[in-house]
A and B are shown apart, each in its own frame.
Chain A
Amino acid sequence: MAQVRNKREGLFWFLAIACFAIGLIGIYDRLVHGHVNANYGSYIPWGLWVAAYIYMIGLSAGAFVMSSLVYVFKVKAFKKIGKLSLLVALATLVGALVTIWMDLGHMGRAWRLMLKTNFMSVMGWMVWLYSAYFILLIIELWLAMRSDLVRCSQESGLRGKICSFLLFGNKDDSPERQAKSARLLTILGTIGIPLAIAFHGSVGAIFGVVGARPYWHSGLTPIIFLIGAFLSGGALLTFIAANWAPNKGTDEHRSMIVLLGKLLLAMLAFDTLLEYAEITVGLWQSVPEEADALKMVLFGDFWWVFWIVHVGLGIVVPALLLIFKGKSVRAVAVAGALIAVTFLAVRLNIVLPGLSVPEMEGLLHAYSTRGLTFDYFPSVSEWLVFIWSISLAGLIFLLGKTYLPILDDKGNESLS
């Protein structure tokens, strides 16, 4: 019962389904041929998929923090997009986890991350933290939807059946029950904030603690990860709220988007400041390996990823839009989309330059073969898997918004 509201919505469905279908070729290649057709290897062990993982997990953490503005801090202006932000957080989290699962050398052994955890490893912590976050996210989303689930379970058709199933037989929607949901949501959201910070901070710490890579090895790394997550997740949510918020077209909607735009501008400024600090301090040449990596980012073969994609389309254009056209819903939406999409460039510029500077100078020419090279550009297969996981997140979002009472508005009143 996909109600295609307009042409633009149809385009999103088309894009998501087309990318999903094309991306399946990459999934097939990965599952059948393993890592043979991927361009990461021994000297560049992490590539596009790890960048895509930290990108999407950042989107998730950012969107989640926006939801906590509604359920914990009771910010009235955003109450219409509480469920929407939880759905975005869930969709991007699934996309991120699927991508990093594909990246593992032995996908069948992923369970060992949970059951054989080494708590000396930051990665061990990260797995436990995002598992907790995943569970919390699902419960929160369910609680936030519950009141609307009861109403929508009366409907006929697939949506009604799904809503009815998700209530697990209990259709009680008394004010006491609603108050209970609201209280639980506040508690879970309150737990969720430090959890989201710890979990995305630990993703950053994975890089920050590696002493062997001066480019990553900084106390600022986890903080930049977090602020980047708030910025990119907030930007994505701004774009989505501008297009799909339940109160779209009203003055209330317009003022919400304008407020989101202001928030976005503040986060963009703060994130740019942190980045500026990281780059200028690093370039002061105190650690040659770090400076080399930074020069690679700024003036290397992929200089355009930094200057054009990130600085141009990810900072300057959105900043101008937000400053001069901050009252226009359309302009704020475009700025949000630009920041959210181009943030992949930031994530790529975290993962790859740290690996592209040889740890031992002589390694570059010691033995040349596939995998033992410091040149990296994602292979077709890697791009296909990447497209697939992004479209998977997109489809989860579109399906969720269509078949779940995400955009139903009545329940929002009782929760905030």
Chain B
Amino acid sequence: MVYHEDENGYVSPESDEMEETRTEVEQAATFDRAKFLKKLGSTVFASLLVPAVFKDQFSAKANDPADTAPEFPILPEPTEDEDILVRMMRDVQRAMKKPVDQRRWSMVIDLRKCVGCHSCTISCAAENKLPDGVIYRPVMEEEIGTYPHVSKRFIPRPCMQCDEPPCVDACPVNATWMRKDGIVEIDYKQCIGCRYCITACPYGSRVFDSGFSYMDGLPSKGEAYLSPEGAIVYEKAPAYEYGKKMPREDHQSPIGNVRKCHFCLHRIEKGLLPQCTVSCIGRATYFGDANDPESLVSELIGKPNIMVLKEEMGTKPKVYYLV
């Protein structure tokens, strides 16, 4: 880990992990460039000209790991008893090979399997570097019955990614819309922070980033019991939502914006599952492409014990619950 201290004394991280993410992006870019140049080189004219002009670049790219690196994580051959996470990753990767408008990202949550550990809530916060006051996937708890015949039900509540999203029509500046793959996206650079969409969402899925920090009110640097440097690494770490790097700086987006769950779109597009799905200790969260009849979520959505929250609102959620 490398730290850089800015003028306010804040230590911003340059962790190895981020370094990796950045080079991945850069590699992808150079990979495209290499392909483009090769295409150009195939024309007769260019085949004479280009090697002479770009000689150095070509020889450098020949050994680039991006040329040989797989687009998505390599998965083992399917087996009878494989973890459903592997199967769902395969579903995701298969969907990613289709055009974007043929994908229909959906989530199924099996309430019978959820034990209320809140791992999804926390891993989501860690993945998206959520500050204090912003939570994308709380787990709602309901107590049923009277003592001694009591049971508890846990209902994780991500964004429902509705097919008829009331939040989209509420936005006065077109800062939120439904993507072709069904995910409701927010453009943080466009959002003015009026919070009308929050009132319009029947599920309370949208939250406002007031600019809080988990460090507020803690003993200042040097007096803290726990390493403040460690905490600041988290607080100031950039988020990579929607595949864009978003450093956390005062008065800058996403502070002052409305935020919400996006099914970890930045992970899906790299062939990974949403963080809540992989961190679920009971494998109660399923994710995949509902347009693909072979996918696990399609199988589950077809079950008779499936339901959606507040069906009467007509929002047509793409998050389903098994009860």
Contact = CB atoms under 8 A, between A and B. Distances in A.
Contacts of B195: 45-46, 105
Interface in A210-263: 210-213
Given A41-B133, A42-B198, A366 B257 contact: no
Interface string A324-343: 00000000000000000000
Contacts of A46: 195, 199
Contacts of B155: 360, 362
Given A35-B256, A42-B133, A112-B173, A371 B201 contact: no
A34 interface: yes
Given A105-B208, A362-B142, A363-B157, A210 B199 contact: yes
B141 A365 contact: yes
Contact of A42 (B139, B208, B211, B216): B208
Contacts of B172: 113, 117-118, 121, 123-124, 126-127
B313 A212 contact: yes
A75 interface: no
Contacts, number: 164
A211 B193 contact: no
B194 interface: yes
A360 B256 contact: no
A109 interface: yes
B121 to A, nearest CB: 7
Contacts of A33: 211
Contact of A118 (B171, B211, B258): B171
A366 B198 CA distance: 17
A355 interface: yes
Interface string B131-145: 011110011111000
B128 to A, nearest CB: 15
Contacts of B251: 34
B208 A212 contact: no
Interface residues of B, number: 51
Nearest to A46: B195
Contact of B211 (A35, A120, A121, A366): A35
A118 B200 CA distance: 15
25 contacts: A36-B216, A41-B210, A42-B134, A42-B208, A45-B199, A46-B195, A105-B195, A116-B174, A118-B172, A120-B169, A123-B170, A124-B172, A210-B199, A210-B200, A211-B313, A354-B199, A359-B203, A360-B203, A362-B157, A363-B157, A367-B121, A369-B135, A370-B210, A370-B212, A371-B133
For the complex of A and B, the 4 pairs showing the least CB-CB separation, nearest first, are A105-B193, A362-B140, A105-B256, A371-B133
